[in-house]
Amino acid sequence: MLEKFERIKLGHFPTPIEHLNNISKHLDGPNIFIKRDDCTGLATGGNKTRKLEFLIPDAIKNKAELVVTVGAIQSNHARQTAAACALTGLKCIIVLEQRLKNAPEAYMKSGNVFLDKLFGAEVKICPKDNDVSEYTEKLIKDIKSKGTNVYFIPGGGSNPIGALGYVECLNEIIKENKKYNFTHILHATGSAGTQAGLLAGKKYFNCNIPIIGICIRHKKDTQVDKVYDEAKKTCEKLQCNILDKSDVIVYDEYIGPGYGEPTKEMIEATNLLAKKEAILLDPVYSGKAFAGLIGLIREKKFTKSDNVLFIHTGGAVSLSAYEWAF
């Protein structure tokens, strides 16, 4: 369906859908299913693989020699971008922003940060007193002044090109939905590209399943605006009808003290899924998103006859950087 857009193969698709039988029984709520986008294959997997399948060919089309992107210290997007660049022969610079207060040394050096370097990326830590956008803009300007052609990928790979990856993800879900009859789709929403792609896909494929985002950084009003703006641009790229703003459903009660800051609900959700289903969540995105799902079940937001699909966006690599939180 998206053949008109340039794409390269970086991952293993379609990702499997599994029934979380043990968790469903334990929570005594709806039937819970999981789409394993943690198993996309590139650099241990994750949702950014889908976005990079569209972003990297755009970089190549623009004759880029170097890709620059940004993220938090334990950015899953940074790791997968570094891996995609290694695979396609592009140089890569990762600008990492310190968002966590009083972070231990393991957080600053292990997990995704170690893998960024292992994949050959040059890692730059934005000084705490600098604005990361201004820091990155100056860096790119300096590199370009030396004659290098730079392609910038925004944080999370979230722009209308990257969001196409989640238009395709919804297409996968729709193709299998006759077996499952999903009543809701739920996932972590941060840089907005994943939810924007899913929502644009709803319009493109004329799908009526509600898509629920669990905020991991921004409060509700800010996140709704971010997602709607990105989804609207993605609809324009697809040349389909524009979604209504009311289609953007998010919950911001599970962020906790801030982005990447552990919460007791995240720890409960991560432990529960590991012990009941042998599936690893991550502390920043999927752990808080699944905590949101548990919270909504306990608030009776779903019926026992509902079939809820949780999209696992990956990120378990960062667990080693968060051992102190558990």
**263 φ/ψ angles, rounded to the nearest 5 degrees:** -130, 155
Distance CA 160, CA 156 (A): 12
Half-sphere exposure of 80 (CA within 13 A, CB side): 34
**Six-digit token pair at 245?**
């703003």
Which residues are identified as catalytic? 75
Residue 212, strand partner residues: 186, 249
